[in-house]
């Protein structure tokens, strides 16, 4: 059963759809069908209900979720960005949804859906200028417009999947993308446990004590060391321009002040400056100011942005969540009586390439626990480090350096895999679109573009984007599996809605190919098993028949810093 929800400032409208699979409809003749449905009102359409606020909606959603059964599941249709966080604020979780905004973006980028259905424009298909998600109780025509948008999306997905090589891939992608919105909202709602005390220990150890209005002692000392090494007592170390000039006066042949350029240069200032840079970075990016802004109530709550990257990867907004340096991960600590499960997928992108290319030889390597070691055993590369560099170079489009040297070896042994990324690169160079495994489509190049650069982009897009699809599938599976572990501190088990986030094992952090789960200690080992199992299941769901495996290393620890 589909249940369509539109939101507004003062309340919500909700419409039941009893037909799980809509009958054939005229998604592309909205100008006529729209006029006939736009007059629908709550009175004339008994399927439409209007609730005054988020609490009312939460109650309704909760009731419907409880009534759902495995044989009669509910799929909520909405802009989850607007609605899910408000439901979570009232303690209500849902099982499945269809996100209109992210689905629309996928379909429109691919050219499967007319751009006039773009939710981002906040216009209903048949009602230009009318806010899709700005429903007014006196203007329930918006419900009809939203329903029309949904049906147009379903029709576009159906048509694309019929024409695609793998039936149902796009529908699966839309489901995974939508599930991602639920995961993202729950990640933010639950947050990652973070110990201010442990963080303080790191800062004091590395930087010295916090000093009101000033810089900590060790940071100042490091700056002084740089000035001393350069013999320039008044140098402003934080000014790249001044620093570069000072370095050159000291006889260093450098064109910038960056680490890679300093590295290896013979001069006493190098070590001092690299040390200062490390301290300065910690101070500015993850120091006291960062903590005051982002850590509240023992939780780090970054704002995850599903689909925030063109490839389908997530982005985050605020707090630098996806750059959390290893240096401060020791401050991520489980609550008393709880554990963290830190899990990361081993060599995810090479495995993705092996699976999606159907390269038998690479798939055999991908069936091994350590794919890179399998490359070495095969005699493709001399050592494991070379294997890693070569694979990354192949997926990024390296043309020089060590990885480029190793490429011919890879091409000889793994022709189909290398051929796939080379083909994607050629498409980009010609200004064409490419597709991930599940059918996410790359954007068109800008009017002025460098063929070489855009080729490298599309080369990487297919692998990075498919890896993101695997990760979405993995997390959606983890979410479902953790919910089944049930409520430990009381209440019923089973239905998602009955497992409040704060009381049961939940996802706490995500980083492309890595997750952190926060779980009561008594279910931590079981949660770790589920995380590993969800990875294997994600592999089967995406690449049924492939021998490539997706091993996950899961550590049950008290602190993120204790994992590897």
Partner DNA sequence: CAAGTCTGCCAC
Partner DNA sequence: AAACGTGGCAGACTTG
Tell me how far, at minimum, the Cβ of 272 lies from DNA, in Å: 13
Cβ atoms of 112 and 157 closer than 8 Å: yes
Please report where in the chains the tokens 């030889």 appear, as a residue. Answer: 361
Closest CA to 77 of 59, 95, 97, 61: 97
Displacement of CA 95 from its chain's centroid (Å)? 19
The answer to whether 512 contacts DNA (rule: CB under 7 A) is: yes
d(CA 16, CA 143): 11
Minimum Å distance from CB 294 to DNA? 8
250, 322, 376, 407: which one binds DNA (CB under 7 A): 322
289 in contact with DNA (CB under 7 A): yes
Relative to beta strand 299-300, strand 295-296 is antiparallel
Nearer to DNA, 309 or 553 (CB): 309
Decide whether 310 or 533 has the Cβ nearer to DNA: 310
- Note whether 358 binds DNA by CB under 7 A: no
Q: Cβ of residue 241: shortest distance to DNA, in angstroms?
A: 4
User: Closest separation between CB of residue 262 and DNA, Å?
Assistant: 7
Q: Which residue stretch of 5-13, 69-77, 115-123, 235-243 sits at the interface with DNA (rule: CB under 7 A)?
A: 235-243
129 binds DNA (CB under 7 A): no
Does residue number 59 form part of the binding site for DNA (CB under 7 A)? Answer: no
Buried-exposed string 63-94: b where 16+ CB fall within 10 A, e elsewhere: ebbeebeeeeebbbbbbbbebbbbbbeeebbb
Q: Among residues 63, 134, 238, 360, which is the contact residue for DNA, using CB under 7 A?
A: 238
Q: Which is nearer to DNA, 125 or 350 (CB)?
A: 350
Q: Whose CA is closest to 46, among 14, 84, 21?
A: 14
Cβ of residue 478: shortest distance to DNA, in angstroms? 16
Q: Would you count residue 120 as binding DNA (CB under 7 A)?
A: no
| Rounded Cα–Cα distance for residues 494 and 482 (Å) | 10
Q: Would you count residue 325 as binding DNA (CB under 7 A)? A: yes
Comparing CB distances to DNA, the nearer of 292 and 502 is: 292
471: closest CA among 330, 294, 323, 349? 349
388 binds DNA (CB under 7 A): no
**Separation between Cα atoms, residue 402 and residue 382, nearest integer Å:** 12
User: How far is C-alpha 517 from the chain's CA centre?
Assistant: 15
Token reading at 126? 């048949």
Q: Counting contacts by CB under 7 A, is residue 309 touching DNA?
A: yes
Question: Residue 400, interface with DNA (CB under 7 A)?
Answer: yes
Asked if 260 is part of the footprint of DNA (rule: CB under 7 A), the reply reads yes
- 562 touches DNA by CB under 7 A: no
Q: Work out the burial of residue 283: count CB atoms within 10 Å of its CB; fewer than 13 is exposed, 13-18 middle, 19 or more buried.
A: buried
Distances (CA, A) of 495 to 37, 68, 99: 36, 9, 21
Distance, CA of 141 to CA of 8 (rounded, Å): 13
Q: Is 399 in the site for DNA (CB under 7 A)?
A: yes
431 binds DNA (CB under 7 A): no
281 binds DNA (CB under 7 A): yes
3-class secondary structure, 493: coil
Of the candidate spans 141-149, 232-240, 407-415, 521-529, the one that interacts with DNA by CB under 7 A turns out to be 232-240
Identified binder of DNA from the candidate list 82, 130, 411, 514, rule CB under 7 A: 514
Interacting residues of 437 by C-beta distance below 8 A, sequence separation 6+ = 169, 352, 356, 462, 466, 469, 542, 543
In whole angstroms, the minimum distance from the beta carbon of 253 to DNA comes to 9
Residue 244 found at the interface with DNA (CB under 7 A): yes
Distance CA 63, CA 57 (A): 10
Locate tokens 């639920």: which residue? 182
Q: Tokens 């990760």 — which residue?
A: 471
- CB neighbours of residue 385 within 10 Å: 12
Binding status of residue 242 toward DNA by CB under 7 A: yes
Does 57 participate in binding DNA (rule CB under 7 A)? no
- Determine, following the binding rule CB under 7 A, whether residue 408 of this chain makes contact with DNA: no
**Binding range to DNA, per CB under 7 A, among 3-11, 20-28, 51-59, 322-330:** 322-330
Q: Which of 250, 310, 367, 487 binds DNA (CB under 7 A)?
A: 310
Residue 348: half-sphere exposure toward Cβ, Cα within 13 Å: 24
Q: How far apart are CA 102 and CA 81, in angstroms?
A: 10
**Cβ of residue 252: shortest distance to DNA, in angstroms?**
12
- The structure tokens listed for 151 are 């049906």
Antiparallel, parallel or unpaired: β 75-78 and 2-7: parallel
Tokens of 406: 């190793």
> In terms of CB distance, is 403 or 504 closer to DNA?
403
CB of 280 to DNA, least distance (A): 8
**Contact between 177 and 53 (Cβ < 8 Å):** no
Per-residue binding string, DNA, 331-350, x by CB under 7 A, is -------------x------
**Measured from the CB atom, is 165 or 400 closer to DNA?**
400
Print the binding letters for residues 456-475 with DNA: x by CB under 7 A, - otherwise: xx--xx--x-----------
Helix (H) or strand (E) holding 81: helix 80-89
Q: Closest distance between DNA and the C-beta of residue 207, in Å?
A: 13
Among 29, 39, 258, 547, binds DNA (CB under 7 A): 258
Which residues contribute to the site for DNA (CB under 7 A)? 238-242, 244, 255-261, 277-278, 281, 284-285, 289-290, 305, 308-311, 313, 315-320, 322-327, 344, 389, 392-393, 396-403, 453, 456-457, 460-461, 464, 511-514
């Amino acid at each position: 059963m589909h249940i369509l929800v539109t939101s507004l400032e003062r309340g919500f409208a909700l419409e039941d759809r009893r037909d799980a699979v809509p009958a054939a409809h005229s998604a592309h003749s909205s100008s006529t069908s729209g006029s006939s449905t736009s007059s629908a009102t709550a009175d004339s359409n008994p399927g439409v209900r209007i609730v005054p606020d988020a609490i009312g909606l939460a109650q309704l959603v909760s009731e419907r979720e409880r009534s759902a059964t495995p044989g009669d599941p509910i799929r909520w249709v909405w802009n989850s960005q607007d609605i899910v966080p408000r439901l979570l604020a009232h303690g209500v979780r849902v099982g499945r949804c269809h996100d209109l905004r992210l689905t629309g973006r996928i379909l429109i980028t691919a050219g499967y859906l007319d751009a006039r259905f773009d939710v981002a424009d906040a216009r209903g298909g048949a009602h230009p200028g009318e806010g899709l998600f700005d429903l007014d109780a006196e203007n329930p025509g918006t419900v009809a417009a939203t329903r029309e948008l949904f049906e147009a999306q379903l029709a576009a997905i159906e048509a694309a999947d019929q024409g695609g090589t793998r039936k149902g891939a796009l529908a699966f992608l839309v489901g995974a993308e939508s599930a991602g919105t639920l995961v993202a909202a729950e990640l933010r709602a639950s947050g990652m446990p973070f110990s201010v005390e442990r963080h303080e220990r790191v800062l004091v150890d590395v930087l010295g004590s916090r000093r009101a209005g000033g810089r900590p002692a060790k940071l100042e000392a490091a700056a002084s060391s740089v000035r001393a090494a350069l013999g320039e007592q008044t140098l402003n170390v934080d000014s790249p321009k001044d620093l570069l000039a000072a370095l050159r006066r000291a006889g260093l042949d450098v064109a910038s002040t960056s680490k890679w350029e300093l590295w290896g240069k013979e001069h006493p200032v190098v070590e001092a400056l690299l040390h200062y840079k490390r301290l300065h970075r910690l101070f500015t990016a993850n120091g006291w100011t960062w903590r005051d802004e982002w850590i509240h109530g023992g939780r780090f709550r970054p704002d995850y942005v599903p689909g925030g990257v063109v490839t389908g990867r997530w982005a985050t907004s605020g707090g630098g969540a996806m750059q959390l340096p290893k240096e401060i991960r020791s401050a991520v600590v489980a609550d008393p009586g709880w554990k963290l499960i830190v899990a990361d997928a081993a060599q995810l992108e090479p495995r993705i390439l092996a699976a999606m290319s159907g390269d038998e030889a690479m798939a055999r390597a991908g069936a091994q626990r350590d794919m890179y070691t399998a490359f070495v055993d095969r005699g493709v590369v001399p050592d494991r480090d070379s294997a890693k560099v070569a694979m990354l170079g192949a997926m990024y489009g390296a043309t020089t350096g060590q990885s480029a040297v190793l490429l011919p070896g890879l091409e000889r042994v793994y022709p189909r895999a290398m051929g796939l990324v080379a083909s994607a690169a050629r498409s980009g160079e010609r200004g064409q679109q490419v597709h991930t495994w599940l059918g996410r489509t790359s954007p068109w190049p800008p009017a002025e573009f460098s063929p070489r650069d855009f080729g490298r982009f599309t080369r990487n897009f297919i692998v990075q984007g498919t890896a993101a699809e695997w990760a979405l599938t993995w997390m959606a599976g983890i979410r479902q599996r953790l919910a089944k572990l049930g409520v430990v501190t009381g209440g019923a088990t089973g239905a998602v809605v009955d497992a409040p986030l704060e009381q049961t094992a939940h996802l706490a952090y995500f980083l492309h190919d890595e997750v952190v789960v926060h779980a009561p200690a008594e279910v931590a080992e079981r949660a770790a098993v589920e995380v590993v199992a969800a990875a294997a299941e994600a592999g089967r769901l995406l690449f049924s028949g492939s021998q490539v495996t997706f091993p996950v290393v899961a550590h049950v620890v008290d602190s993120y810093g204790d994992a590897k």
